[in-house]
Amino acid sequence: MFHKILVALDTSTSSKSVFDEALALAKALQANLTLLHVLSPEEEGSPDISFLSSPEYYVGLGMSTEILEMQQKRWEQFVNQGLEMLRSRADEATANGVSTEFTQTPGSCGRTICEFARNGRYDLIVIGRRGRSGLSELVLGSVSNYVLHHAPCSVLTVWHPVSESKTEAAQLEEVAPSI
C-alpha cells in the first residue's frame, strides 16, 4: 500500500484542503508524509525574479538598484511564506501522530515534483487541481496534468474549481494580461 506520501503544496488557500486529504490518508494508512513546496515563478503570487540572476546587466540598462533590491526582498518574503506554511502543516501532522518532514526547493513545479518523487521512491503524490481547462490550461499550463502523465508512482488529485463567477477569458486576463 502507500507508506511514503509526497504532498505537493503551494501557498494558495486551496492547498490546505490538499494537505488535509493527505493527512487523513496518512493517518489511516500509518504512512509518512513529506511536504514539498516548489519555489517557482509559475506559482500565483510569486514575484518576478527573472532579472535577479543578472542584476549587473539590468543596472547597465538603466534599472535602478532600488528596484532590484525591492524584488529581492519580495522573493525573500515569498521564500519565508513558503517555509512558514510548510512548518505549520508539518507541526499539525506531527500533532496528529503522522511522521512528517518538509522541504522547499526551486524549480519547475511539475518536473521538480516528479523528480523528487522518483528520487525519494514515494508510493503516492497528493496534489491539488484547480479545474482549469481549455485555453487557460493551455496558456497557464497545468502542474497536476504534468504530474499525472510523468509521475513515477500513483497520483491523487484533490480538485479545487476555479471561481465560477469569473469567465475563462477574465481568468486569463487577470493572470496573463500581456498575452
Q: What is the DSSP letter of 163?
A: P
pTM: 0.80
pLDDT digits (tens, 9 = 90+) for 84-100: 999 999 999 999 999 99
Contact (Cβ atoms closer than 8 angstroms) between residue 18 and residue 147: no
* Cα distance between residue 28 and residue 23, in whole Å: 9
CATH classification at residue 147: 3.40.50.620
Considering its fold, how many domains does the chain have in total?
Answer: 1
Please provide the distance, in angstroms rounded to a whole number, between the alpha carbons at the two ends of the chain.
45
- Residue 96 lies in domain: 4-175
Q: Which range has the worst mean pLDDT, 49-53, 73-77, 97-101, 120-124?
A: 49-53
Give the tens place of pLDDT for each residue, 147-171.
999 999 999 999 876 554 444 445 4
